[in-house]
Structure 1
Amino acid sequence: MESRTASGGSWDEAVSDHRRRQLLHIGRVATALVAAEGLAAVSMSRLAREAGVSRATLYNYVPDVATAIQRYLDAKDAAFARSVTTAVADEPGPVEKLRRYIREQVRYVAGGEHRAAVAVAEAGAALEGASSARAHQARQPAVLAAILAEGEEEGVFAPAAHGARAMLIGRLLYSAPELLFTHGLSEDEAAAAITDLALGGIAAGR
């Protein structure tokens, strides 16, 4: 028989929610520490102390500091994917949806916490797979592909392979941090520059 908590949920659900919140807390603390001091300067003992957990508990959640940051960034990206899908759905047509999608993406990568986590992940050779900034873009293809398909169906975007087009727009978005922090553009200016280039390349009848 499945045990229930006082709130009516199952014990397994409560444990799962607690683990998720603890992972986010550990990742948030790890990101702040490493952003301030560098990956090499933050040991698991230090992270456990700052996060308010024992070393044994910490190792039960993550094997190292870099993984704590990566999992935190993954969770933040998943939450962002849900929010951007909702935001885009409120727009009236594919052009407006693409503009909103790009604007939301630029705003997200401009956030200090995300920038710190990406910088840490990029610098941490212990992380496997694609770079975190590129991985963030790779997590959004379904939303972007749907926008591009809708634009083609309505005749406002020229026909093309959705996968290639989505990848290229993702590469444009990958340049957002450089536009913001190297060239000093505002979020609106960076979003406008990327949007103009994207729409100029996919508009029907160009």
Structure 2
Amino acid sequence: MRITNVRKPAQPEVVDDERLFPEEGSAEGCASGECLPDAAPEPEPEPEPTPAPVRNGRDNPGLTAGERWRAAVETVKAASPRHGAALAHGRLLWLRAGEVGVAYIPTAAFHRAQVTGGSGRALVEKALSEHFGRPTRLVVEEASGEAASALSIAEQEAQVRTAHQQSTEGKVRSHPAIRAVLKILGGELEHIQVLEPERPPASPAVESPEETA
């Protein structure tokens, strides 16, 4: 029996590994990190918030030193009339941030003792601190040099009262109606009581955006 046209069984195809997986080259591309995304930049630190300006209590740095000192004395008087009146006899030396300097003449030794003795200094410094909006120290010295010629608030007010009294007495004695009455009655004026002029109210302190004491 003869069998023809018999096909040989198909041999399995050998797959070349080199065709499926190309030969590896040098470390480039992702292997070298080139295809990786760039590292995110570090966030910049946020700027620190600007602190709000400190309000200086009732003080107004836009005024003159004398006006500021008068307002400060009024604040002390509101806290303690006795200590405020004693402080008004001190002659201002300086107004600095956190410090006030005053000087007393020898004849004002009593008033000096009022603001430096016992609890007087603590009370005055507490009122000054509230007025200037910061802890404020009171420095007391003997009046010498420029302070010896300067006048305290109390001395200035005394001068104003004296000038007002003298001016008023002169006007009264020279008034035509008074002179006519004296001529008719034959009398004379012995004493004229002069009332103190009305003190103007203290100017309200205007707030300032910055502290410059």
TM-score by length of 1: 0.26
Larger relative helix fraction: 1
Q: Give the TM-score normalised by the residue count of structure 2.
A: 0.26
Structure of larger gyration radius: 2
Higher normalized contact order (CA 8 Å, seq sep 6+, divided by chain length): 2
Q: Which has the higher strand share?
A: 2
